[in-house]
Copies of this chain bind each other. A is one copy, B any other.
Amino acid sequence: MEKLDDIDLKILRILQKNSKKTTKEIAQMLNLTASPVYERIRRLENKGYIKKYVALLDKIQLNRPITAVCMVSLRYHNEGFIEKFESQIKELKEVQECYHMAGKVDFFLKINLQSLDAYHEFVRLKLSKIENIGVLESYFVLKEIYSTTEFFI
């Protein structure tokens, strides 16, 4: 499979919306039988187009209502320092996302927590222990207007 055809893209669009759709259901949507759909999905998995299958949980019901975005700038930007920072961040279970950014800010972190108190403790006990952080600016999510793992393909 060197390139994806239209059927592959349709399968991916379906699965990123709802991975519980059965191959039979997908086959019916595409006017095919189950076998080719099954084989295409296996190939899409094996080639890495599909990375994984996950359940998305409800943050509010599971008592993680606080989402913070943390903008971090490092003091030193040598390669070693950046790698050190990145590996330290990956250790923090509260961090859901970490991006190295272009521009005046070096990193964006997205953090999920139970309470503002927990965020205070997180910064005090964990982030501030990371040596190389220069500037740290925190933003809090008031309301999630829209959020999806899908992207337009």
> Chain A 74-115, CB within 8 Å of chain B: the 1/0 string?
000000000000100110011111111111010110001000
Whether B49 lies near A95 (C-beta < 8 A) is no
Please tell me if A147 contacts chain B, counting CB pairs below 8 Å: yes
Whether A140 lies near B58 (C-beta < 8 A) is no
Whether A57 lies near B151 (C-beta < 8 A) is yes
Q: Which of B69, B101, B152 contacts A94 (CB 8 A)?
A: B152
Give the chain B neighbours of A51 by CB distance below 8 A: 55-58
Q: Do A18 and B53 form a contact, CB below 8 Å, given A62-B153, A145-B100?
A: yes
How many residues on the A side are at the interface (Cβ–Cβ under 8 A)? 59
Whether B112 lies near A152 (C-beta < 8 A) is yes
Q: Do A146 and B89 form a contact, CB below 8 Å, given A12-B62, A56-B53?
A: yes
> Chain A 47-76, CB within 8 Å of chain B: the 1/0 string?
111111111111101111001010000000
Please tell me if A125 contacts chain B, counting CB pairs below 8 Å: no
Whether B17 lies near A145 (C-beta < 8 A) is no
Q: Which of B53, B90, B105 contacts A146 (CB 8 A)?
A: B90
Question: Which residues of A does B touch, CB under 8 Å?
Answer: 12, 15-20, 47-59, 61-64, 67, 69, 86, 89-90, 93-103, 105, 107-108, 112, 139-153
